[in-house]
Amino acid sequence: MATYTPPLRDMQFVMHELLGVTDELRAMPAHAEMDADTINAVVEEAGKFAAEIAFPLNISGDAEGCALDHTTHEVRPPKGFKEAYAKYVEGGWPALSCDPAYGGQGLPITVNQCLYEMLNSANQAWTMYPGLTHGAYECLHAHGTPEQKAAYLAKLTSGEWTGTMCLTESHCGTDLGLLRTKAEPVGGAADGRYRITGAKIFISSGEHDLAANIVHLVLARLPEAPLGSKGISLFVVPKFLVNADGSLGARNPIFCTGLEHKMGIHGNATCQISLDGAEGTLVGQPHKGLAAMFVMMNAARLGVGMQSLGLTEVAYQNAVAYAKDRVQMRSLTGPKAPEKPADPIIVHADVRKMLLTARAYAEGGRMLSLYTALLIDRELSHPDETVRQEAADQVALLTPIVKAFLTDNAWLATSHCMQVYGGHGYVKEWGMEQYVRDARINMIYEGTNTIQSLDLLGRKVLGDNGAKLKKFGRLIAEFVEDEGVDEAMQEFVNPLADLGDKVTKLTTELGMKAFANADEVGAAAVDYLRVVGHLVFAYFFARAAKIALAQRDSGDPFYAAKLATARFYFAKLLPETAGLIRSARAGSKVLFEMDEALF
Amino acid sequence: MATYTPPLRDMQFVMHELLGVTDELRAMPAHAEMDADTINAVVEEAGKFAAEIAFPLNISGDAEGCALDHTTHEVRPPKGFKEAYAKYVEGGWPALSCDPAYGGQGLPITVNQCLYEMLNSANQAWTMYPGLTHGAYECLHAHGTPEQKAAYLAKLTSGEWTGTMCLTESHCGTDLGLLRTKAEPVGGAADGRYRITGAKIFISSGEHDLAANIVHLVLARLPEAPLGSKGISLFVVPKFLVNADGSLGARNPIFCTGLEHKMGIHGNATCQISLDGAEGTLVGQPHKGLAAMFVMMNAARLGVGMQSLGLTEVAYQNAVAYAKDRVQMRSLTGPKAPEKPADPIIVHADVRKMLLTARAYAEGGRMLSLYTALLIDRELSHPDETVRQEAADQVALLTPIVKAFLTDNAWLATSHCMQVYGGHGYVKEWGMEQYVRDARINMIYEGTNTIQSLDLLGRKVLGDNGAKLKKFGRLIAEFVEDEGVDEAMQEFVNPLADLGDKVTKLTTELGMKAFANADEVGAAAVDYLRVVGHLVFAYFFARAAKIALAQRDSGDPFYAAKLATARFYFAKLLPETAGLIRSARAGSKVLFEMDEALF
């Protein structure tokens, strides 16, 4: 009964009308041939894969889950996952934005972002298999030795092999400095091989039968490594060793010893992994493993934002279909469908509010994430070093916002969409409660949303005295100045300018307080991130409204809907910032007044 | 690993220090003998039952769920549920607040409320079996014929039989006016029996082996009944017919034909029920079934509030234990446990914020629900008719707040508590994700929270021109006047007075707008309910703070904790109202601008 239609029109709007990606991309030598038709055609095909192949396996995958054979340590994902993955590889999708040097198609990250939004709408649990693979590719592409690149990158690009991130241990997740897994050199320095021993947990896609080999990226400690996070190194540890000719060798002793029983994402194998002297090679410098892993982690954080954007969109689409079909009560202003026994529930104000909340969070998330993707394309491919660095700074600023704001929003939005169904939302039949359960993990993994907020306020904003934030603020100030004279834009420009001023003041105030007491950062960070997230959304919705206003006589209802959504966002969602700013300003004292023993 | 300790000290504080329930109750003839020791002793024993009998079955009950035998139509709840229920009956707990005329113990509703909070902390799914029974008891006690009372009340009081509410059908839940189940008289008017035919869904505790008989209260239409909600009648339909001597007769054809597969409350049998000419008798007047059922519904709505209060408390307790034990990262202000590899996470500001949010919502919910329970005792037992009516009015006002505000808060609080665990919160092992899943249904059933908000704003507030709200407002105004001179109370009194003024203005404004456009009620109602909920909490926290301040030199750390929680509530949670009021004032236009086809 569940449905999914790729939101191609809105993606095209964001890419071409809002961001003008084609012109931007064509200024980069790697993408000089890009044109809108090519981008749109690829995204449309990607949507077909998502809707026709991945989506039909979503509810069944949740119901079935994964199974571990404790004797062979092999894991069987839900029925159909392997076949869908084979089609994904056959279609060349893993290679979409990979380096042509390794068989990639070299398309922009912007296009890849569209693919991932749709895959996650279709089936988050399934998408985590190729998703983590892409992260492993990026990490090895950035930090691998020539030998590692030769051994792994072509296979990860094609998708013949998949990847994982093996970070968490049972006693440490956020605080990786505590980890205990050990790596011991096999021979002399020339040998380059290590034997790795330890136990990891929460390893997504850690074991499965989708691919011939699994490339694990594992954090471990070298002998005599310094304590804490400065003593952690990164290793690549394949499930099957790779012979010099690229063929598969012996089974490496890195085994799945248990599957986690989780609230959601049942179709993904979340593994306990035991390394019993597994052979691996060092990635990057000794003791600098966290830095190398952060390439993968940053990609993963943006990927998690895409997961939540995808869930928001698909939950919205289904809730709308239900709200148009389900009849219940009459409108408070009198019957709207007198020929029916009751009105479709979409006539009720709060049902509309719940639907529009999800819609606005999907559209806002899409604008922010495609903007960020375009920045990554700049960072990777722009010929001008200064532009690349500026783009990298903006990506650094926006990454925690994409991760935390989009995932918090999806939790709100999927819950609202489920509420539209009433009791029918709480039963599994309609698939809505699965979106809520799946969405919940996104607030936790790849750095909890609290960690994201500390990264934003502590490191990205206060860490450089607000320089990165000011650059984003200048975009807003320019827009406000340009549009401030347009009467029709006042309803958007005024609250945007007002919130921009408030964020500036709040940032200054928190910086001063943090100077005296570091706990002030922790006390305000979560509220602060949400305020800045709204500022970013408000900026993009104002820009979208400007385009929609210019097209209002076009007769294309898309623009009427865009304008209505922007107005809803400003009227009903942006006001949350009023309470958040008060809470952010309330300081740390009320959090620390209570003695630990009294909790 | 999960733990639960009944919050006896805080219950005693609320009952005796905040509300002075003993003096109030002793003014009622039915409770003239009440004293604090008796109340405390009963509550303590109730806590033992909850913690020792019901709680150990919570996680296992979720994992196992219920099983239906499609041949016999019998349902087997999870292992241990039947035995626990037998102990509950043996302990006399079902009879606690029931009428002594039917074997009840005649204790105040206030005491029963404490019992139910603790049972729901221990095991919401299990508690729904006795919980619905109590609702059926109240409905028959209020509206049953002498014959029905004789047949059913003693058995429901003892708990030997259990009860259900059979309202929902697949095409109608909120809009019961659409229901199709039919009741046809068996003989003439003197016979009094009806044959009832139809299909119900979402029937909690609809079939099970805990009790010898199940007393179903069923909504159905009589022949020639008017269309809509004015043509619905209420019937009592037992699983086994009851002979004149009280013994069980023939199996009535009211069968469970399916179990719902749900997000949570797996231990409760949520049944599809088929009535194939089942025999029943009319409760109350023909076509007045909804009014009669509302006795049960109002009790159920308060009961749902208790479910969420219980979940908030138990989630809080477990998250605190985890936060004190789990070490991860150092405090931003330097090591707090230098002897450990990292600090316990309770040193981190945002962890404290998440814990204190749950704590404040639990304490606020307890104050509001025990206050409401005391009002119900007044309504039922006070000798003065005027006092009874005033109490009934206040209960009517507060019921949708207890239902919706407490259940929304529990959704926030259980999610926060789960977040404290990081990835360990998302796996089933620790039991935290179950609290989130269980809490979600409470926002839906017994009238969705949107329906509660329409009931509050449309019927309870605007429906009598704010008279009931003004009475509650007078309590606040008196408190503000009394305490306004106390310097130490300014931090509580000022924001309380300020919010009170804002609610008055908002109510007036919404009333005017609703006069011109009824959709303005629907557009603002959900925000409005949350604002009023905060006003009520702020009032009780201010009163609690006053007591805590008076006791601050007592050396009892309970008062220091109470004061710290009140301060946290005012500083970090109450500010949400700033955004809510703006959203409530934003009107309905932005919700209706988008054409239905464009969603």
All domains in chain B, ordered by first residue: 1-447 (1.20.140.10), 453-591 (no CATH)
ipTM beyond 0.90? yes
CB contact under 8 A, B419 and A449: yes
Residue A190 is predicted with a pLDDT of 80
CA distance A308 to chain B (A): 16
**How many inter-chain contacts (A to B, CB under 8 Å) are there?**
281
Of the residues A24, A279, A363, A446, which is catalytic? A446
pLDDT (tens digit, 9 = 90+) per residue, B301-351?
Answer: 999 999 999 999 999 999 999 999 999 999 999 999 999 999 999 999 999
Residues from chain A that touch B270, judged by Cβ atoms under 8 A, are: 427
CA distance A580 to chain B (A): 7
CB contact under 8 A, A593 and B568: yes
Residue A128 is predicted with a pLDDT of 97
Residue B296 is predicted with a pLDDT of 81
Burial class (CB in 10 A: 0-12, 13-18, 19+), B29: exposed
Please tell me the distance from the alpha carbon of residue A283 to that of residue A286, in angstroms, as a whole number.
8
Burial class (CB in 10 A: 0-12, 13-18, 19+), B551: middle
CA distance A219 to chain B (A): 17
Residue A294 is predicted with a pLDDT of 84
User: Residue B442 pLDDT > 90, yes or no?
Assistant: yes
CB contact under 8 A, B571 and A590: yes
DSSP, res B94 = G
B342, B441, B522 member nearest A175 (Cβ): B342
Structure tokens at B106: 């005649």
Neighbours of A302 (CB within 10 A): 24
Neighbours of B435 (CB within 10 A): 30
3-state secondary structure of A236: strand
Burial class (CB in 10 A: 0-12, 13-18, 19+), A465: exposed
- Given a contact cutoff of 8 angstroms between Cβ atoms, the answer to whether B557 and A595 are in contact is yes
Q: Using alpha carbons, select from A595, A488, A459 the residue that is nearest to residue A549.
A: A488
Please tell me the distance from the alpha carbon of residue B369 to that of residue B367, in angstroms, as a whole number.
6
Band the pLDDT of B385: cuts 50, 70, 90: very high
Residue B190 is predicted with a pLDDT of 80
3-state secondary structure of A207: coil
Residues from chain A that touch B522, judged by Cβ atoms under 8 A, are: 332, 348-350
Please tell me the distance from the alpha carbon of residue A466 to that of residue A468, in angstroms, as a whole number.
6
Burial class (CB in 10 A: 0-12, 13-18, 19+), B478: exposed
- Residue keyed to tokens 């408190």: B479
Structure tokens at B32: 């003239």
Residues from chain A that touch B519, judged by Cβ atoms under 8 A, are: 331-333, 349
CB contact under 8 A, B178 and A342: yes
Residues from chain A that touch B359, judged by Cβ atoms under 8 A, are: 599
Which residue type sits at B405?
F
Q: Using alpha carbons, select from B147, B132, B265, B280 the residue that is nearest to residue B210.
A: B132
CA distance A1 to chain B (A): 16
Structure tokens at A329: 């009560």
How many CA atoms lie less than 13 Å away from A77 in the CB half-sphere? 29
Band the pLDDT of B94: cuts 50, 70, 90: very high
Neighbours of B78 (CB within 10 A): 24
B427, B518, B596 member nearest A346 (Cβ): B596
- Given a contact cutoff of 8 angstroms between Cβ atoms, the answer to whether A29 and A381 are in contact is yes
Calculate what percentage of chain B has a pLDDT beyond 90.
97
CB contact under 8 A, A350 and B450: yes
Mark whether B64 is an active-site residue. no
Distance of CA A63 to the CA centre of its chain: 24
Q: Using alpha carbons, select from B271, B204, B211 the residue that is nearest to residue B84.
A: B211
Burial class (CB in 10 A: 0-12, 13-18, 19+), A219: buried
What DSSP assignment string belongs to A25-88?
HHTSGGGTT--HHHHHHHHHHHHHHIIIIIGGGHHHHHHH--EEETTTTEEEPSTTHHHHHHHH
Residue B574, φ and ψ in degrees, nearest 5? -55, -35
CA distance A60 to chain B (A): 14
CB contact under 8 A, B582 and A593: no
Band the pLDDT of A122: cuts 50, 70, 90: very high
The whole-chain average pLDDT of chain A stands at 97
Residues from chain A that touch B413, judged by Cβ atoms under 8 A, are: none
Calculate what percentage of chain B has a pLDDT beyond 70.
100
**Strand stretches in A205-292, DSSP E:** 213-220, 233-238, 240-242, 248-251, 254-259, 270-283
- Given a contact cutoff of 8 angstroms between Cβ atoms, the answer to whether A360 and A565 are in contact is yes
- Given a contact cutoff of 8 angstroms between Cβ atoms, the answer to whether A440 and B436 are in contact is yes
Distance of CA A477 to the CA centre of its chain: 28
pLDDT (tens digit, 9 = 90+) per residue, A260-298?
Answer: 999 999 999 999 999 999 999 999 999 999 988 887 888
User: Residue A189 pLDDT > 90, yes or no?
Assistant: no
Q: Which of B167, B572, B574, B576 to mutate to test the interface with A (most CBs of A within 10 A)?
A: B572
Angle at A144 between CA A142 and CA A148, to 5 degrees: 140
Residue of B nearest to A270 (CA): B427
Residue A298 is predicted with a pLDDT of 86
CB contact under 8 A, B324 and A178: no
User: Residue B204 pLDDT > 90, yes or no?
Assistant: yes
Q: % helix / strand / coil in chain A, to the nearest 5?
A: 65, 15, 25
Mean per-residue pLDDT, A371-400: 97
A202, A332, A437 member nearest B522 (Cβ): A332
Residues from chain A that touch B588, judged by Cβ atoms under 8 A, are: 349
Q: Which of B498, B593, B595 to mutate to test the interface with A (most CBs of A within 10 A)?
A: B593
User: Residue B294 pLDDT > 90, yes or no?
Assistant: no
Report the interhelical angle of A490-516 vs A467-483 (nearest 10°).
160
CB contact under 8 A, A178 and B448: no
Neighbours of B171 (CB within 10 A): 15
User: Residue B188 pLDDT > 80, yes or no?
Assistant: no
Alpha helices in A258-384 (DSSP H): 289-325, 349-381
Task: Give Rg (Cα) of chain B.
Answer: 24
Residue of B nearest to A582 (CA): B575
The whole-chain average pLDDT of chain B stands at 97
Q: Using alpha carbons, select from A541, A537, A538, A534 the residue that is nearest to residue A565.
A: A541
Buried b (16+ CB within 10 A) or exposed e, A353-392: bbbbbbbbbbbbbbbbbbbbbbbbbbbbbbeeeeebebbb
CB contact under 8 A, A577 and B579: yes
CB contact under 8 A, A444 and B429: no
Residue A135 is predicted with a pLDDT of 86
- Given a contact cutoff of 8 angstroms between Cβ atoms, the answer to whether B4 and B314 are in contact is yes
Please tell me the distance from the alpha carbon of residue B492 to that of residue B545, in angstroms, as a whole number.
8
CA distance A486 to chain B (A): 21
Q: % helix / strand / coil in chain B, to the nearest 5?
A: 65, 15, 25
pLDDT (tens digit, 9 = 90+) per residue, B530-588?
Answer: 999 999 999 999 999 999 999 989 999 999 999 999 999 999 999 999 999 999 999 99
Residue A188 is predicted with a pLDDT of 77
Tell me the CA distances in angstroms from B316 to A503, B344, B410, B498, one per residue in order: 32, 16, 10, 30
CB contact under 8 A, A333 and B595: no
Torsion sign (Cα): A39, A44, A50, A53: negative
Point out which residues pair with A327 in neighbouring strands.
A344
Of the residues B138, B207, B446, B520, which is catalytic? B446
Please tell me the distance from the alpha carbon of residue B598 to that of residue B593, in angstroms, as a whole number.
10
Q: Which of B594, B595, B596, B598 to mutate to test the interface with A (most CBs of A within 10 A)?
A: B594
CB contact under 8 A, A355 and B262: no
Q: Which of A128, A202, A263, A432 to mutate to test the interface with B (most CBs of B within 10 A)?
A: A263
- Given a contact cutoff of 8 angstroms between Cβ atoms, the answer to whether A426 and A433 are in contact is yes
Residue A1 is predicted with a pLDDT of 80
Please tell me the distance from the alpha carbon of residue B468 to that of residue B460, in angstroms, as a whole number.
7
Q: Using alpha carbons, select from A125, A121, A123, A119 the residue that is nearest to residue A66.
A: A125
- Given a contact cutoff of 8 angstroms between Cβ atoms, the answer to whether A506 and A528 are in contact is yes
- Given a contact cutoff of 8 angstroms between Cβ atoms, the answer to whether A358 and A315 are in contact is yes
